[in-house]
Amino acid sequence: MAPTPHPFDSARDYEVRLASKLVKDAYPAEANVHFVQIDRLDPPKKDMIKYLEAEKHGLPLPAIPRVFYAYYWTNTLEFNKALVNVTVGHVITRTKLPKGVCGPLLPDDMMEWEEYCTNHPVVQAEIAKLKLPAGYTVRNDPWIYATDDPNERRPLVQFFMYVLAGNGHTESNHYSLPLKFSPVFECFSKKFIRMDYLPGGFDETTTPTGPWQQVPCVEYHPDLNGESIPREVKPLLITQPDGPSFTVEGGKVKWQGWEFRVSSSSREGFAVYDVSFKGRQVFYRISLSEMTVPYGDPRAPYHRKQAFDLGDCGFGTNGNHLNLGCDCLGTIKYMDGYGIHANGEPYVIPNTICMHEQDNGILYKHVNYRTNNAVVARKREFVVQTIATVANYEYVINLKFVNDGSIDIETRATGILSTMPIDENVKVPWGTIVGPNVMAAYHQHILSFRIDPAVDGHKNTVVFDDTLKLPRSKLNPYGIGFVSDRKYVEKAGYVEQSPFTNRTYKIINENVINPISKTPVGYKIAMPARQMILADDDSFNVKRAKFATQQVWVTKYRDHELFAAGEFTNQSQNDTGLGEWANGTDDVRNEDIVVWATLGFTHIPRVEDFPVMPVETHNIHLVPFNFFDKNPALDIPQSNQAFNKSTLYTGGKEEPACCKTKI
């Protein structure tokens, strides 16, 4: 018998199995219950606060049941959600969701439909028209269908078709050879709905499928990419001879004064909980909440290209199996995730979260020029990393806990651009030609990070500070003065960006005053001002993703309000997340609040992004701001050679000593 998991621990295999069994047992066999996602819910916060208090003081722990949700379809094409108490073993609720609500797609299903599509007679007939050279075949990527018709209520999937070059290699880059037809099927029933044809010119005009014009495939795989002379790179090894500075027990991490819990999540990849530094509470929960990727190519069917990578697919469900020495360097602790099969049986996704510490240069330094005595300390980070592959793209999410009490939320976008066919000698203003007859449309990656603060307690306030010129006066005769101006967020809503007034957002606790600065303790949310979603306000793209219209949102905390665009995003027509919760009426000043930080970047592809894209890195920093009574990193050991054991470079032909020492 396994030990009872901590309420914040990842779902266990036996819990997933029990949840699916209880749900299946509630239906007749002929219902063919078909699961697409099963995971645990967070316990109610009010219960967890008591639990964490008891845990902190070593008191008896209140019993908190483990509750799971299950999304599943029945053979009547109805989509359902059940809540299951796996601690006592009963189904709490079973809800049939309104027609048109689609849950996330299941990887098993996608793989099956992918093959089914290619072999479908209508598609085969189209493929035949291509008259492909010997050895050349066709591969497809199933794509979420998204939305363009309020009356479309069927679960659909759109297949983008590509030529697979005739080199017989499984890793050939089909994204380099996009085709101009794109079938649409109904999910589960696999009914053929429609054949879409893709434009290749400068407008929306399409042409019937004809013989494929052979062009070279731009390959990324080392076996194929034609880089016959590999670049000479010497190993750079990171070792910790005395072991790492961190400990991980179950989901509990301790490192340099930081304490928190890590839990894998089918939808979010992972979440961290109950974060404290030097014994003081800072955050209750942090996770990626949603990401939408709208494309700027206006032509059908591309106008529907708007993925919600968490809600439509699942970041954990599509998490990579990370490998030692491949995805991070140093001493690595791994955690597993899991996926499920349609029958509710879980499978392990090994090592899908990795944790390690790394150096990041100088943290602070001062030299007294009178004595040349230097005080210098190094910045070190503890990284919690996961990587998800969502069809063509990869996303690396790094949560970095820094030894100065700050947290750096880092996103790295890599992988392969989503490509479209383009005819020779055609240019379009919404895309970049990245290879022969292949175009990558401009698009945006707009991520929402959900930050549930607990800055010295749960009653927090969001403020924003602008730095403003001081008018000339007797006090400011030379017109050089400037001051800080603070505003408070009183009601649930958003704060606009204002980079030119140096606007900074802070989460403060008005009930705790810093004894030095005489101001409320807080954490700053530092992120660059960015272009938000570009689509029309009354477009589906915006209606489905209100979170993508503003950079900072504040809502009142409510249990289970976790996902910025709402619980169900696949083919959604409205944002049922921040669109509803940021209601302008909830009081959010000195309340239990949630902050939603939108990190957006408009991606204008460059040729260098193909065939595989060097990371585009974007960050949000959470920085203690008048939280501590001095620099909290004064206790870290000084940086010196006895500790760091660096090596002096002696290679190359050095200059004659005369030039270096004769002065």
244 near a copy of itself (CB under 8 A): yes
Residue 212: closest CA among 440, 432, 436: 436
CB crowding 527-548: b at 16 or more within 10 Å, else e: beebebbbbeeebbbbbbbbbb
273 catalytic per annotation: no
Catalytic residue among 309, 327, 408, 452: 309
Pair 611, 173: CB distance under 8 Å: yes
DSSP for 438-450, written as a single string = EEEE-EEEEEEEE
Which positions from 391 to 430 touch a copy of itself by CB under 8 A, shown as an x/- string? Answer: xx-x-x-x----xxxx-----x-xxx----------x-xx
301 near a copy of itself (CB under 8 A): no
The nearest distance, CB 525 to a copy of itself, in angstroms, is 14
Closest to a copy of itself by CB, 95 vs 467, is 467
Catalytic residue among 145, 273, 393, 395: 393
The nearest distance, CB 241 to a copy of itself, in angstroms, is 6
The nearest distance, CB 496 to a copy of itself, in angstroms, is 10
151 near a copy of itself (CB under 8 A): no
Closest to a copy of itself by CB, 72 vs 175, is 175
635 near a copy of itself (CB under 8 A): yes
Closest to a copy of itself by CB, 267 vs 618, is 618
Closest to a copy of itself by CB, 332 vs 407, is 332
329 C-beta neighbours (distance < 10 Å), count: 14
Contacts with 390 (C-beta within 8 Å, 6 or more apart), sequence order? 307, 309, 313, 315, 318
Closest to a copy of itself by CB, 492 vs 527, is 527
- Residues 521-540 contacting a copy of itself, CB under 8 A: 524, 528-532, 534-536, 538-540
Span interacting with a copy of itself, options 24-32, 93-101, 290-298, 557-565, rule CB under 8 A: 290-298
Question: Of all helices (H) and strands (E), which one includes residue 580?
Answer: helix 578-581
- Residues 358-377 contacting a copy of itself, CB under 8 A: 358-359, 361-376
Amino acid at 133: P
Pair 520, 513: CB distance under 8 Å: yes
The nearest distance, CB 622 to a copy of itself, in angstroms, is 13
636 near a copy of itself (CB under 8 A): yes
- Residues 265-284 contacting a copy of itself, CB under 8 A: none
Identified binder of a copy of itself from the candidate list 53, 559, 587, 629, rule CB under 8 A: 629
Closest to a copy of itself by CB, 57 vs 660, is 660
Identified binder of a copy of itself from the candidate list 44, 96, 482, 583, rule CB under 8 A: 482
57 near a copy of itself (CB under 8 A): no
Closest to a copy of itself by CB, 155 vs 346, is 346
SS (H, E, C) 370-419: CCCEEEEEEEEEEEEEEEEEECCEEEEEEEEEECCCCEEEEEEEEECCCE
Identified binder of a copy of itself from the candidate list 484, 558, 560, 583, rule CB under 8 A: 484
Separation CA 326–CA 218 (nearest Å): 24
DSSP for 281-327, written as a single string = EEEEEEEEEEEEEEB---STTGGG-EEEIIIII-TTTTB----TTTS
- Residues 199-228 contacting a copy of itself, CB under 8 A: 203-204, 218, 220-222, 225, 227
Pair 363, 378: CB distance under 8 Å: yes
Closest to a copy of itself by CB, 179 vs 438, is 438
Q: Would you tell me the crossing angle of helices 107-119 and 121-128 to the nearest 10 degrees?
A: 60
Separation CA 420–CA 175 (nearest Å): 8
527 beta partners: none
Closest to a copy of itself by CB, 7 vs 405, is 405
239 near a copy of itself (CB under 8 A): yes
Identified binder of a copy of itself from the candidate list 501, 573, 574, 590, rule CB under 8 A: 501
Which positions from 580 to 609 touch a copy of itself by CB under 8 A, shown as an x/- string? Answer: ----------------------x-x-xxxx
Q: For a copy of itself, how many residues bind (rule: CB under 8 A)?
A: 208
CA dihedral of 121, 200, 611, 323, whole degrees rounded to 10: -40
238 near a copy of itself (CB under 8 A): yes
- Residues 313-332 contacting a copy of itself, CB under 8 A: 318, 320-321, 323-332
Amino acid at 404: D
DSSP for 154-184, written as a single string = S-EEEEEEEEE-TT--TT--GGGSB-SEEEE
**Structure tokens of 289?**
């909440």
Residue 231 phi/psi, 5-degree rounding, is -65, 140
614 near a copy of itself (CB under 8 A): yes
The three-state secondary structure class of 131 is coil
309 catalytic per annotation: yes
The nearest distance, CB 576 to a copy of itself, in angstroms, is 20
Identified binder of a copy of itself from the candidate list 497, 509, 555, 576, rule CB under 8 A: 497
355 near a copy of itself (CB under 8 A): yes
Identified binder of a copy of itself from the candidate list 57, 151, 237, 584, rule CB under 8 A: 237
Separation CA 627–CA 242 (nearest Å): 32
Among all residues, which ones are annotated catalytic?
A: 309, 393
